[in-house]
């Protein structure tokens, strides 16, 4: 692989899974993929439950944001 190769990242943040792809921008081919369970599921299995959690607690939005960022950092 050339040292001047350029890559892009595609992310899909779904309700049940997080998926990512590393794309070679010259060939538009996928160089690597990764997926994880969406850690926000601990706040509810669907988006409505998660929204209710976020608005029903003073720190609900921050709780959901922090767990997602922590899991993303571990994955990197």
Mean pLDDT, rounded, of the chain? 81
Is the pLDDT confidence value at 19 over 80? Answer: yes
Higher pLDDT, 7 or 64: 7
| Sign of CA pseudo-dihedral 66, 41, 71, 11 | negative
Q: Give the residue carrying structure tokens 């899909």.
A: 12
Residue 49, Cα to own-chain centre: how many angstroms?
18
Query: Are 16 and 41 a contacting pair, CB within 8 Å?
Result: yes
- Name the architecture of domain 7-75: 2-Layer Sandwich (3.30)
For the chain, the structural domain boundaries read 7-75
| pTM as predicted | 0.57
The string of pLDDT tens digits covering residues 24-39 is 999 999 999 999 887 7
């Amino acid at each position: 692989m050339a040292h001047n190769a350029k890559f892009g990242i595609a992310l899909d943040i779904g309700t049940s899974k997080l998926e990512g792809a590393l794309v070679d921008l010259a060939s538009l081919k996928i160089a690597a993929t990764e997926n994880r369970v969406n850690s926000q599921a601990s706040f509810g299995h669907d988006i409505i439950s998660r929204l209710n959690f976020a608005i029903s607690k003073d720190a609900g939005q921050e709780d959901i944001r922090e767990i997602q960022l922590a899991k993303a950092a571990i994955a990197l």
